[in-house]
Amino acid sequence: MADLVTFGETMLRLSPPDRERIETTSTLELRAAGAESNVAIAAQRIGADATWTSKLPDSPLGRRVAAELRSHGIDAAVAWSDDGRQGTYYLEHGSTPRGTNVIYDRSDAAVTTTRPDDLPLSTVRDADWFHTSGITPALSSTLESTVADVLSTARDAGTTTSFDVNYRSKLWSPEEARATLTELFPAVDVLTTAKRDAREVLGREGDAESIARGLADDHDFETVVVTRGEDGALAFHDGAVFEQPAVETETVDPIGTGDAFVGAFVARRLAGDDVQTALEYGAATAAMKRTIPGDVAVVTREEVEAVVDADRGAISR
C-alpha cells in the first residue's frame, strides 16, 4: 500500500546546455518533468512510499518517461494509450536581463483524455495521502472532471488530500483558474499556494498569515501553506501559525523547487512529524533542489537532514 499517490502529467523536458538559445543550439538535453511526479520523487527520497499515476502514450517517448520516473524508486502506475502524444516542453535558461523561457508543446497529449476508470482508484483509496495540482485540471475539460472525481474518491475513503495551486498563465487565465479551483476546494484537506498565486488567482490580499487564515476559514482546509520565495514559507494549522525562513542556496536550476518543498513536507507529515518540522524539511529540500539541474530533487534524506541541522545551528562533527 502506498503512503502517497500523486496524479498529473509528466512531460519530457528538452533544454539547451548552459544558457544557449533554442534557435541556435545543436544539443538538447532530455529529462522527464512533471509537478506531481516531482512531488512523488521528493517524498520517496525523504522516506515515503510513493506512487505516481497518469496516462502515457505507448511509444518510445512515453516509455522513456515511465522508465526515468521508476529509476527514482517510485511506482509509476501508468494507463497506456494508443491515442494521443507525449507532451514536451522546452526550457531556455537565461540570466539578467534575459529571463528563463518555457515553451510548451503539450496539446493533444494522451493525459488529457484520462478518466477516473483509467486510474488505480483502489490504490488511491488505500493510500494515506493523495496529491495533485492546479496544472492538471487546466489541461482539458476531461481532466477537470477527473481531478474532481479522484479528489472526492480519496476524501470519501478517508485519504488525506492535498492540492498545490501551481498556477500557469500559459494554460489558463486567473479567472478561469479561480472558478475551477474553488469548485475543487471542498474535497481538499491541505492547500499549498505561492503568495503571488493567492493574490493573482484567488483574489487574496494582505500578508501570508492573513491569506492562510482567510483561505482556511473560507474553505475549511485542515492546513494552508503559503510559500514566499526568498522569504520562506508560512503554514496555518489547527489555529496556529508556523513560519520557516528560506535556506540560503546557490541556484543552478530553480525549476521544480516548489514541488521539492511539497514532496518533503508531505513525506514528513506522513511520518508523523509536526507542521514546523515538515516545513523545515520542505525548505531544506527546496534549497537542495535549486543546486541540481533538471526538475527532480535528486537528494537523500541524510543530505536533507544535514541541511536542516545546519539551519538549526547544529554542529556537524
DSSP 8-class letter at 185 = G
Distance CA(290)–CA(30), nearest Å, equals 18
Cβ–Cβ < 8 Å for 219, 185: yes
Cβ–Cβ < 8 Å for 56, 110: yes
Residues forming a β-bridge with 280: none
Cβ–Cβ < 8 Å for 48, 33: no
Distance CA(129)–CA(216), nearest Å, equals 19
Cβ–Cβ < 8 Å for 104, 137: no
- Residue 21, judged by CB atoms within 10 A of its CB (0-12, 13-18, 19+), counts as exposed
What cell numbers appear for 236 in the block?
A: 496555518
Active site residue 259: yes
Other CB atoms within a 10 A radius of the CB of residue 182 amount to 14
> Which entry of 75, 164, 259, 295 is annotated as an active-site residue?
259
What cell numbers appear for 175 in the block?
A: 479567472
What cell numbers appear for 59 in the block?
A: 511509444
First to last CA, the chain: 38
Cβ–Cβ < 8 Å for 7, 136: yes
Residues with a catalytic annotation lie at 259
